[in-house]
Amino acid sequence: MSKQCFFRIILGAILFAALLPVSAQCEPSSGLIKGPIVITSSTLSADSGANKAVFEGSVVAKTDEMTLYSDRMTVFYSEEDGDIEKIDARGNIKLLKGQRVLTSRSAIYLASEGKITFTGEPMAVEGNNIITGSEIVYLIDEDRSLVRNSKVYIQQDKGR
């Protein structure tokens, strides 16, 4: 095969891939998140020198138990084994886990601490109940949250 033909095939593949959503699959570094993390987005920019990947445009990160949506997500990984160490998500954050929905403007996942910190008008909704605050910290392995400057709206069932 000629060099010119080879470069046309590679260029065609790159242009074709640019029209499709980008997807990456990573195994989490701890047992706190069950199964692989599958991340899809419009674009992906990887920087192996800085050990990070930046996903932009309609970003969706899915695990077996939860789904995290954002406009932009930066994934930091370890140099030695490629395990995810930190995820920094920005813009239109929405975390879905079971019947719970948590929204905010930014979220940071720290694998070593097993937590996700939501800031920028975070709000958690489960059924008719709503919790807001200046910061919501979700402790993944304990399946519980800590809320700073909390305000809780509880809708009582009138049938009881």
Tens digits of residue pLDDT in 4-40: 333 333 333 333 333 333 334 444 444 445 567 788 9
The answer to whether residues 20 and 13 touch, using CB atoms and an 8 Å cutoff, is: no
Return d(Cα 114, Cα 78) in angstroms, integer: 16
Encode pLDDT of 39-73 as tens digits: 899 999 888 889 899 999 999 988 888 899 999 99
Task: Give the list of residues 6+ apart from residue 23 with CB closer than 8 angstroms, or none.
Answer: 38, 39, 40
In the chain, the domains with their CATH numbers are 21-153 (2.60.450.10)
